[in-house]
């Protein structure tokens, strides 16, 4: 039985047959040395789906194996239009009890009908990753307790604030403009009324 296999026994449940991504993740973890690191490209569903996958994520987080989650841009890989992610596993982690979340979804340039990570994009991501640095709208160190309290959800968007790019509207300026337009309209209506009166005389 796979549940008795050392590679998968830790969480106490097996990944679903239909979405076995985390089974591969556990296999990679079991293959690491006691100070080893693995970076695995995954589809985003593994970060938030419930059921058995949630139990596996909970075990990974609780045992301090999740080092970093990196959200990649969409449309990077041939035949894959959706945004993928990288899960970085690390054994022998320093016990800072935190996970680094990096939102690199905007770190790309257009290259024909695909997106591309330039050297500049890669260097930015790697610098933040290696220094475990927080940057507004880009990265955040999250205590594992917060992740566990959030149903072991590992979606980057749950922890890294999105920049509000909507245009800021100056209400005072808008009101002043409206008052001016109303005044101009009143003046125009008065002139039209005078013209009509003259035509009727």
**Model pLDDT for residues 94-131, shown as the tens digit of each residue:** 777 899 999 999 999 998 889 999 999 999 999 999 99
Q: Are residues 150 and 182 in the same domain?
A: no
177 assigned to some structural domain: yes
DSSP-derived 3-state class of residue 31: helix
pTM of the model: 0.78
Q: Are residues 22 and 65 in the same domain?
A: yes
pLDDT value at position 118? Answer: 95
CB atoms within 10 A of CB 154: 24
pLDDT value at position 67? Answer: 96
134 assigned to some structural domain: yes
Q: Taking a C-beta distance cutoff of 8 angstroms, is the pair 92, 34 a contact?
A: yes
Alpha-carbon span 129 to 119, nearest angstrom? 15
Question: Can you give the residue range of the structural domain that contains 193?
Answer: 168-201
Q: Are residues 141 and 59 in the same domain?
A: yes
Q: Are residues 152 and 172 in the same domain?
A: no
Q: Are residues 65 and 16 in the same domain?
A: yes
Q: Are residues 119 and 65 in the same domain?
A: yes
Q: How many domains does the chain have?
A: 2
pLDDT value at position 174? Answer: 72
pLDDT value at position 173? Answer: 78
163 assigned to some structural domain: no
What 8-state DSSP symbol labels residue 77?
A: B
Q: Are residues 38 and 77 in the same domain?
A: yes
pLDDT value at position 7? Answer: 65
Which residue numbers in the chain have pLDDT < 70? 1-8, 165-168, 170, 185, 187-189, 192-201
């Amino acid at each position: 039985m796979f549940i008795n296999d050392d590679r998968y026994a830790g969480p106490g449940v097996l990944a679903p047959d239909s979405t076995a991504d985390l089974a591969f993740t556990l296999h990679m973890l079991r293959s690491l040395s006691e100070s080893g690191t693995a970076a695995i490209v995954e589809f985003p569903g593994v970060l938030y789906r419930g059921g058995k996958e949630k139990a596996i994520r909970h075990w990974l987080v609780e045992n301090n194996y999740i080092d970093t989650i990196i959200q990649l841009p969409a449309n990077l890989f041939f035949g894959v239009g959706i945004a993928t992610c990288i899960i970085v596993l690390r054994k022998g982690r320093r016990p800072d009890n935190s996970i680094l979340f990096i939102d690199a979804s905007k770190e790309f340039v257009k290259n024909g009908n695909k997106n591309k990570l330039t050297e500049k994009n890669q260097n930015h991501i790697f610098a933040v990753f290696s220094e475990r640095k927080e940057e507004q709208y880009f990265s955040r160190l999250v205590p594992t307790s917060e992740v566990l309290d959030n149903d072991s959800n590992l979606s980057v968007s749950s922890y890294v604030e999105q920049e509000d790019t909507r245009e800021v509207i100056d209400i005072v300026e808008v009101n002043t403009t409206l008052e001016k337009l109303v005044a101009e309209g009143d003046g125009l209506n008065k002139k039209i009324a005078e013209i009509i009166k003259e035509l009727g005389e």
